[in-house]
Structure 1
Amino acid sequence: MTSFFFLLSGCMECCLKCLGGIPYPSLIATILLYAGVALFCGCGHEALSGTVTILQNYFEVIRGPGDGLDVFTIIDIIKYVIYGIASAFFVYGILLMVEGFFTSGAIKDLYGDFKITTCGRCVSAWFIMLTYIFMLAWLGVTAFTSLPVFMYFNIWTICQNTTVLEGASLCLDPRQFGVVPIGEEKTVCAGSEKFYKMCESNELDMTFHLFVCALAGAGAAVIAMGNNNQGVALFK
């Protein structure tokens, strides 16, 4: 019985030592980073698909012939960029977590400060610098994502106030946003059948809220990268 208690005590001590070596700020920031990037990529991809549906069904915008650069080609390019972002940040999040673990204070106490070489410090500084660069890039992504949120918010607000706008000659023109060339008129005006169908459809409401979720995910990724750098610095 005594040996069992000694064994249990040794296991608990080992577990506590392992738990003490986990860089919790870096762990939380990595989880938040994954959640933010996943929210941005998943919701952004579906919101772009919803945008294509709205343009085709209600504004009657068609895909241009050949390999011309139209709005649908741009949306396809952005989707492929989202695939790349998801893959890159999956790997980058693992690297940040590993770097945060090996620079934690518990690892230094276990192996001693003399084990931390100049090369290790340079690698750590490089990760911090790279994370700040990515954070600035994600600030740009967040600002870019706010544009469709603002556009859809205006459309969604107009649809929610259709009774107030009864008799008003208010039209939605995709040419204002560069979606279609200036020479093509694809307007949808309040009071028309297409306008009411678009407002009553699930595509508009779903696409708007998906863009809002994508914006929230981009903001969460920015916060996660900032906290990850602070967590690594705190544990050094």
Structure 2
Amino acid sequence: MGLLECCARCLIGAPFASLVATGLCFFGVALFCGCGHEALTGTEQLIETYFSKNYQDYEYLINVIHAFQYVIYGTASFFFLYGALLLAEGFYTTGAVRQIFGDYKTTICGRGLSATVTGGPKGRGARGPQRAHSLQRVCQCLGKWLGHPDKFVGITYVLTIVWLLVFACSAVPVYIYFNTWTTCQSIANPSKTSASIGTLCADARMYGVLPWNAFPGKVCGSNLLSICKTSEFQMTFHLFIAAFVGAAATLVSLLTFIIAATYNFAVLKLMGRGTKF
């Protein structure tokens, strides 16, 4: 089997669902972690500048923000590694499923690889069989990890439940900033509201961002409108929206991974191949 034929069969056996899910996962995690990190930094600056003059009032908030930023670093690293592992598992199990249905007669770890490596002229030396044997041993080692789609389904299911909580939490700052932005729109257009401009406020204490004894803790009227017009507020608001979109994309990718892995596992189980192949 020639190199082009081998590449064509690999493309035929490509797990397109896993490829799409991996792309969404990488995109979503990068967007969530990158934008979330910068949005938290912007929130810290807004609190320090406009909502409290006493460091002790927001000291705990800053510690939480810094701790969560470190969690973001770990989350990004984990999901990039786990996404690559899920993609490799998708290639492995999809190849086995297509082999069962006869659409993918040889796998990269099977006789096709041996024939490609060892089928050359005899005068090329004895390194061909050794190289093929080494690659087959590598594939066998990978198979011990990737030949269990049921475990990947379970782990991904747990991660999806956890990420649902992350997705819900990422909506909270978007909700807070949206309420503040809506209040600013009411201040900018007093004819659209019956309330006095001086009574329209954004209170950080109400959302638990600052303790109730923080001073001033809230900004009202024209002062709040001037904050909403700053680039810091606008940028932070849009960064939180982008982080929310990234969390949604990651959630969709995890659900796609679950569907693809569950299908592969069900087919292998139904055809009597079990979870080891």
Structure showing greater Rg: 2
1:141 to 155, 166, 169: 166
**1:115-173: CA deviation from partner (whole Å, max 9, x where unpaired):** x9x97787311111100110111111011111110000011112223233464412222
Structure 1 residue 228 displacement after superposition:
1.3
Does 2:45 correspond to 1:56?
no
Question: Counterparts of 2:59 and 2:198 in 1: how far apart (Å)?
Answer: 35
1:110 aligned onto 2:119: no
Distance of 2:92 and 2:2 partners within structure 1: 24
Q: Indicate yes or no: 2:59 matched with 1:29.
A: no
1:47 alignment counterpart: 39
**For 1:180, what is the secondary structure of its paired residue?**
coil
C-alpha distance 61-214 of structure 1, shift in aligned 2 (>3 A):
farther
The reply to whether residue 198 of structure 1 matches residue 227 of structure 2 is yes
- Aligned positions, number: 220
Specify the alignment match of 1:188 in structure 2. Answer: 219
- 2:29 aligned partner, one-letter code: V
Deviations 1:179-233 (A, max 9, x none): 2222223221112xx3233122011111111111111111111110111121233
Q: Which moved more, 1:48-57 or 1:100-109?
A: 100-109
CA distance in structure 1 between the aligned counterparts of 2:3 and 2:151, rounded to whole angstroms: 37
Measured after TM superposition, the shift of residue 69 of structure 1 is 6.1
- Conserved? CA contact 2:199–2:220, under 8 Å: yes
Match of 1:227 in 2: 256
For residue 217 of structure 1, the aligned residue among 236, 241, 246 is 246
Q: Secondary structure at the match of 2:155?
A: helix
CA distance in 1, matches of 2:232, 2:50: 11
Match of 1:207 in 2: 236
SS at match of 2:32: helix
After superposition, residues 79-118 of structure 1 pair within 5 angstroms as: 79-104=69-94, 105-106=97-98, 109-110=105-106
Gaps (5+ residues) in structure 1?
A: 1-8
- 1: CA distance between counterparts of 2:47 and 2:209? 9
Q: Deviations over 1:38-77 (max 9, x none)?
A: 1100111111011011111111354339xx9611111111
Q: Which of 104, 118, 123 pairs up with 2:148?
A: 123
Instruction: Point out where structure 2 has 5 or more consecutive residues left out of the alignment.
Output: 111-139, 191-195, 268-277
Of structures 1 and 2, the one with the larger relative CO (CA 8 A, separation 6+) is 1
CA distance in 1, matches of 2:12, 2:263: 15
| Equivalent residue letter for 1:82 | I
Moved more, 144-153 or 18-27: 18-27
Q: How much is the aligned-residue C-alpha RMSD, in angstroms? A: 2.6
Q: Return the TM-score normalized by structure 1.
A: 0.84
Equivalent pair of 2:33/2:73 in contact (CA under 8 Å): yes
TM-score by length of 2: 0.72
Residues 62 and 91 of structure 1: CA distance in aligned 2, closer, same or farther (over 3 Å)? farther
C-alpha spacing 1:21/1:208, structure 2 compared with 1 (3 Å): same
